[in-house]
Structure 1
């Protein structure tokens, strides 16, 4: 009769070991270097937040002691996370991101760390057993802590970046470690810097992105994995609600606030906002739908762009599904928005053999299309979308030789007004349902002129609808398909978007 209790204890022991080893997206979760006090880590699935406790004398010299949540990663990666200390300040406690060759306490490593006094430092150990080094350009952030850290590996070069909430990432340092193997342990760390004390931190928005090579051709090699995410635009907290090893794009938030609509394999699908089973929407004969779909302001109609033998055209159909009705018959035409009267749509198109896009509007009941831009002064316009009050059409445009910026104009095409003036390439302005905010995607200045490519480090940014300084609400790996359509939640507090990674971790 004693066998069952013993068996139960053995099974429970194995479960506890497994729980210790795996937490959230990390394969391993353990103390490194044998700290005097044992650390721990938990993961809240609802908020997708890690809570970590750790002791450890230091991460310095020839011996490290800390708590480590990590995966074995081979090849290039981009690891990004938000950090926050919990409790009273301790000057030298540190948290951050690290890559190292092994779990030995003297292993070759590189990391970026936030300290309790605001110091942000890049540190590395060039070979096993060597002293840790740090550059002379450490940054003291005073009481305004960096909240985002990013560690990128590209070949044998490791680059550390950090950002305050709402600001772009800035490079803290970069180091080539030629002795680093292709496979390393990489993840998040916490050290108390006091062997007799446990410190606690919270970590969220943890993403391990596997970037593609510069010469990657999705047409030949296939599309990489995708994550469907939602985020609170005011506190920046994100949640992954769906993942796939292939491609999907461009989520809309449905009017009921309970589901998302997204494009995949030429069709449209819905999924609960909290994740779950996907369902295919009936779009009749339209089986070549691209990522330019949008929902009418009254929530009754769906507009799509779909390609057939004669190229892409604009169609409308009931939001619950049905047979599409053509709005345009001349291609290429790519839909971007509805008018608040629910009777007109705006789109970009090429006409009369001219390989330049202009913005047009047209009634869904027919009639002639009305050209709203004359593109002689421009290289490209795109992303046209009405404000909820109908007073403006927002869009992105580039002057000849310049970067892409955000603009707006009156619905008749008059009073064109530039809204952003920075070095980034800003695309796809999406106006919140309450008419107060613009969310958009920003690409680095180095991308090809007038393109919005896939598989890049990009930012989602937020600004007041009448203009003002944009602030960063997300750093991610994505681009094309991330936020091509208006994906605001009905309460104007959340966005949905797609990020990319070469495979799920």
Structure 2
């Protein structure tokens, strides 16, 4: 398996590859300054400088089972991670972006980080609270830790929540009666609104930092879950809803853009494709 980390530029409509590796790399985030990326591989985190692409390990203390649900705080000072080392189940922590000892955030497990609020005070995540067979719902809690609040009800399962840059909405993918669409909801749990209506299986919406677009990954109809090693579309839709356009078709899926992946200018995003 070859991982190919690339950046798509909306202004040119082209993707540029920055690193091909025989390591299984996933879920690029942008580090402060937009001159390097953050990726995970084999339970660890790595920086990837764009001028001289190479994988530089980040000290994550005891955390050695980090998955692809991670992201930088809005001020760039902290990285939120999801790790199983301490609890045996997915648990959310934060650590300094330069590296250091993780601090536990989520009281309950399993919980999977997905997004920061624009002010850095709140994180959002899918969590299983009644067993895996009953599916996940979307929750929020203080970024420093504290009581969580459930936002979604009535779905078979939910995943991929991410905040809009104005802090007004959380977008997520939700499954009902076998259909997986994109939805949005306000932080107080009001205003639930369905945003896609096609037959595709739509995952991991990421609102752009300029508030103009929402990027997401779309599987072929009938796909179950968010598997790896599939032909997928990367699609872009207006932030207020409407017809999406296909930016790329690639071989990917799980790991391609699970976590927030936009550069701060809202014109570029990072992603991973794979080759077998």
Residue 232 in structure 1 maps to residue 9 in structure 2: yes
SS in 1 for 2:203: strand
Name the Cα RMSD after superposition: 1.3
Equivalent residue, structure 1, for 2:135: 356
Q: Is the 8 A contact 1:396 1:428 kept in 2?
A: yes
Separation of aligned partners in 2, 1:245 and 1:322: 27
- 5 Å-filtered alignment, 1:181-330, equals 224-308=1-85, 309-330=87-108
Residue 444 in structure 1 maps to residue 223 in structure 2: no
* Count of aligned pairs between the two proteins: 274
Structure with bigger helix share is 1
Equivalent residue, structure 2, for 1:331: 109
Query: Structure 1 regions of 5+ residues with no counterpart?
Result: 1-223
Report how far residue 446 of structure 1 moved: 3.1
Select which of 147, 159, 162 maps to 1:368.
147
Separation of aligned partners in 2, 1:340 and 1:475: 30
Equivalent residue, structure 1, for 2:210: 434
Separation of aligned partners in 2, 1:348 and 1:412: 16
SS in 2 for 1:231: strand
Equivalent residue, structure 1, for 2:259: 485
Equivalent residue, structure 2, for 1:459: 233
Q: Compared with structure 1, are the counterparts of its residues 430 and 275 closer, same or farther at alpha carbon in structure 2 (3 Å cutoff)? A: farther
Separation of aligned partners in 2, 1:259 and 1:472: 26
- 5 Å-filtered alignment, 1:69-84, equals none
Equivalent residue, structure 2, for 1:199: none
Q: Deviations over 1:91-131 (max 9, x none)?
A: xxxxxxxxxxxxxxxxxxxxxxxxxxxxxxxxxxxxxxxxx
Q: Is the 8 A contact 1:226 1:243 kept in 2?
A: yes
The structure number with the bigger radius of gyration is: 1
Report how far residue 322 of structure 1 moved: 1.3
Equivalent residue, structure 2, for 1:498: 272
SS in 1 for 2:167: coil
Select which of 376, 379, 384 maps to 2:156.
379
Q: TM-score, normalised by structure 1?
A: 0.53
Q: Compared with structure 1, are the counterparts of its residues 275 and 423 closer, same or farther at alpha carbon in structure 2 (3 Å cutoff)? A: farther
- 5 Å-filtered alignment, 1:108-187, equals none
Select which of 160, 176, 180 maps to 1:399.
176
Separation of aligned partners in 2, 1:439 and 1:367: 30
Equivalent residue, structure 2, for 1:340: 118
Query: Structure 2 regions of 5+ residues with no counterpart?
Result: none
Separation of aligned partners in 2, 1:466 and 1:255: 28
Separation of aligned partners in 1, 2:54 and 2:67: 22
Report how far residue 274 of structure 1 moved: 4.2
Q: Is the 8 A contact 2:160 2:172 kept in 1?
A: yes
Report how far residue 275 of structure 1 moved: 4.7
Q: Is the 8 A contact 2:23 2:41 kept in 1?
A: no
Separation of aligned partners in 2, 1:255 and 1:470: 29
Q: TM-score, normalised by structure 2?
A: 0.95
Separation of aligned partners in 2, 1:358 and 1:453: 19
Separation of aligned partners in 2, 1:461 and 1:372: 26
Separation of aligned partners in 1, 2:256 and 2:54: 21
Q: Deviations over 1:217-237 (max 9, x none)?
A: xxxxxxx22111111124321
Q: Deviations over 1:228-268 (max 9, x none)?
A: 11111243211111111231100011120100110111111
